[in-house]
Amino acid sequence: MVDSRAVSSPSQPDEKSRAVLVTGASRGIGRAVAAAFAGRGDRIAVHWSTSRDRAEQVLAELPGDGHVLVRADLADAEAVGRMVDDAAERLGGLDVLVNNAGVFTAHPPLETSWADWQAAWSRTLAVNLVAAANATFRAVPHLIAAGGGAVVNVSSRGAFRGEPNTPAYGASKAGLNAFAQSMAIALAPHDISVTCVAPGFVQTEMAREVLDGPGGDAVRAQSPYGRVARPEEVAAAVLWLASPDARFSTGTIVDVNGASYLRS
C-alpha cells in the first residue's frame, strides 16, 4: 500500500532530485535521514510498518514535493519486495536505498526463557538483516536502471563491541556489515556503492528507556563528549555515503559514536 502527498516547499533547483527509499522512516534516525535527503531536494519514500500516524506526520513535514508513504512488514519477504517496487514506481525510479529499520529486544541469555530466546532471534534477524538483504536485492534492478546509485545500511557499534543483553541485535548488525561489504564488491561494476553507518547510542525513542533510566548518565559518559548522538548527526553521515562523491568509498563502515568505542 502506497500513499502519495505533495508538499508545497520547492526542491533545490541546482541539484539533481534523487528518488530515495528510507525504511523505518516514521521515527528516530529514519525520520532524520528522510528530512536530510528531502532538504537537498530529493523525493522520499517514507516506509512504515506499524505507525501510520507518525509516518504521515513525517511526510507532511518534509520539504519539497513528490514524497510518498510505503508500508511493509519487513519480516515478510514478499511484502518487502512489493514495497520496494511500489516505491520505485511512485518515485519514478530509485537512486538510493537506506536500510534503516531495526528492532532491539532485550534477551540476556541467563535470564530469558527458551521461547523468548527463539522469538528474539527470529524477529531480530528477520527485520535487521534479512529484510535489508531482501530490500537490497529488489532495489538492484532499479538502481541499475538509474545508471547507478547507493545503498546505505544503518548498522551499530554493537556489531564490534558485543551486546551481552541483546546478542541477536549485535549479531544482526555484524551480519549487516558483512552483507554490505559483499554487495559492495558485487555491485561496484554497476556504479552502485554499498556502505554502512555504525552509530552508538542515539537520542531516539528506541533508546529513551535506557537514556532516561538510572543508567543514562553512564551511557552518556561512554563518550568523551558526555552525550549520545543526535539523529541528525547520523543522517549527515548517511547523506554523504549516498552521494556520488562517496562512491569510491564503497564497502566503508563509518562510526558515529562520539569515540565511545574505537576499533582498529
Distance of alpha carbon 171 from alpha carbon 128, whole angstroms: 10
| Residue 128: DSSP 8-state | I
Between the alpha carbon of residue 144 and those of residues 95, 135, 184, the distances in Å are 9, 14, 14
Instruction: Please pick, among 48, 169, 179, 201, the residue that the annotation labels catalytic.
Output: 169
Asked if residue 46 lies in contact with residue 67, where contact means CB atoms within 8 angstroms, the answer is: yes
With residue 219 as reference, give the H or E element that holds it: helix 216-221
- Residue 213 makes CB contacts below 8 A (sequence gap 6+) with none
Q: Reply yes or no on whether 169 is catalytic.
A: yes
Distance of alpha carbon 8 from alpha carbon 63, whole angstroms: 7
C-alpha cell at 221: 559518559
* Beta bridge partners of residue 69, listed in sequence order: 3, 46
Q: Which positions are annotated as active-site residues?
A: 169
